[in-house]
Amino acid sequence: MQIPVTPEENKKLPPNFIPEIETGLLAKNASISPKFLYDPLGSHLFTAITLLPEYYPTNTEKNIFTEYQDQIINAIGTGVTLIDLGAGNCQKAESFFNSLQPSHYLAIDFSVEYLEDALEKLKGKYPSIQMQCIGMDFSKELIIPNSIAKDKRTFFYPGSSIGNFLSGEALELLRQIKSQANDGGLLIGVDLMKEDSVLIAAYDDPLKVTAAFNLNILRSINSQLGSDFRVEQFRHKVKINHFENRVELYLEALEDLTVNWPGKSRAFQKGELIHTENSHKYTIESIQLLLNQAGFKSTHIWTDPKDYFAVIYAQ
């Protein structure tokens, strides 16, 4: 069932990302926001990444959800309004539908086209759940439509996507979630810091699916900016930053080149990097501190036997 919304509430992505993209590309150390990784092709490639045996976060989180589902449901309660941030193909949220029995489901993602396809498949399977999807760049501002029930809101943010944000940005997003959760809470997945060998295998897999995912951001930018990036002129590169406790993704220029777009250009020297994503890793103590700073007062925490990953319900 589709929740009726006003045209203003169901608006698509802002039409002009050009100033933001140009600022990143023209900076001394070039960068592209990771949100541009998730165009329709990028979203499909990321789904493929989650199927790789080397990419531990998805299966580890799924196993925690399965093993502790009864405890998680007891902590949250049933009949909630489930708000899925970065919903993707909606499969993670769907795994809770039968036990959580949400009355409403709001799926939010950057790629609204991919999201609409996923949600269409769910409507027939769960006719008792009112469903809606919205394309939103909630990395800037999280705005929940007025049509969404304000009581018993449970925000769902799995996959350790919170790790894409710098600490100050993560804190601001969590504060926005807390302010709009009302009497509800947040169910979040958080990746924990671990040895380099596990991280490198996860972010630079032998099949090079992650490389394709990262390189596809250049095609995404071409469509937004009208630029002439050539994918074959770059390669995927991974760094582990121990000082910041994070994995960093880059694209490295394989030759001297110049990228052009209407009115501007950027020269890259061979070996120069474009930063595309951070994936911060936490300890239990550091994520608890961040949640407390955001206004959450209590937490329920579940982890796997290796302490690779944590699932937390915060209120």
Residue-number span of the structural domain to which 297 is assigned: 49-194+281-314
Q: Is 224 helix (H, G, I), strand (E, B) or coil?
A: helix
pLDDT tens per residue, range 269-284: 999 999 999 999 999 9
SS3 123: helix
Asked, for residue 187, whether it belongs to a domain, the answer is yes
Per-residue pLDDT at 304 exceeds 70: yes
Q: pLDDT at residue 260 above 60?
A: yes
How many Cβ atoms from other residues are within 10 Å of residue 124's Cβ? Answer: 7
More confidently predicted of 76 and 2 = 76
pLDDT at position 77 is: 96
Residue 181 above 60 pLDDT?
yes
The answer to whether the beta carbons of residues 192 and 283 sit under 8 Å apart is yes
pLDDT in tens, 131-155: 999 989 898 899 999 889 998 999 9
Whether 18 is covered by a domain: the verdict is no
pLDDT value of position 13: 41
The answer on pLDDT for 302 being more than 80 is: yes
Mean pLDDT across the chain: 93
Asked, for residue 221, whether it belongs to a domain, the answer is no
Model-level pTM? 0.89
- For residue 104, being part of any structural domain is answered with yes
Q: How many CB atoms lie within 10 A of CB 14?
A: 11
User: Could you tell me if residue 310 is inside a domain?
Assistant: yes
Q: Quote the pLDDT of residue 245.
A: 95
- Tell me what pLDDT residue 284 has: 97
Question: Would you report the helix, strand and coil content of the chain in percent, each value rounded to 5?
Answer: 40, 25, 35
pLDDT tens digits for range 61-116: 999 999 999 999 999 999 999 999 999 899 999 999 999 999 999 999 987 887 88
The whole-number pLDDT of residue 273 equals 98
Tally of domains in the chain:
1
| pLDDT > 80? residue 6 | no
Q: Band of the pLDDT at 15, cuts 50, 70, 90?
A: low
105: in domain? yes
pLDDT of residue 3: 34
Residue 269 inside a domain? The answer is: no
CATH number for the domain harbouring residue 139: 3.40.50.150
Percent of the chain scored above 70 by pLDDT? 95
- What is the per-residue burial (b if ≥16 Cβ within 10 Å, else e) of 136-160? bbbbeebebbeebbeebbbbbbbbb
Environment class of 179 (CB within 10 Å of its CB; exposed 0-12, middle 13-18, buried 19+):
exposed
Mean pLDDT of the 196-202 span: 97
- How many residues make up the chain in this entry? 315
Q: How confident is the model at residue 4 (pLDDT cuts 50, 70, 90)?
A: very low
Q: What is the pLDDT of residues 16-56, one digit of tens each?
A: 799 999 999 999 999 999 999 999 899 999 999 999 999 99
Going from the C-alpha of 6 to that of each of 10, 11, 117, 211, the distances in angstroms are 6, 9, 21, 40
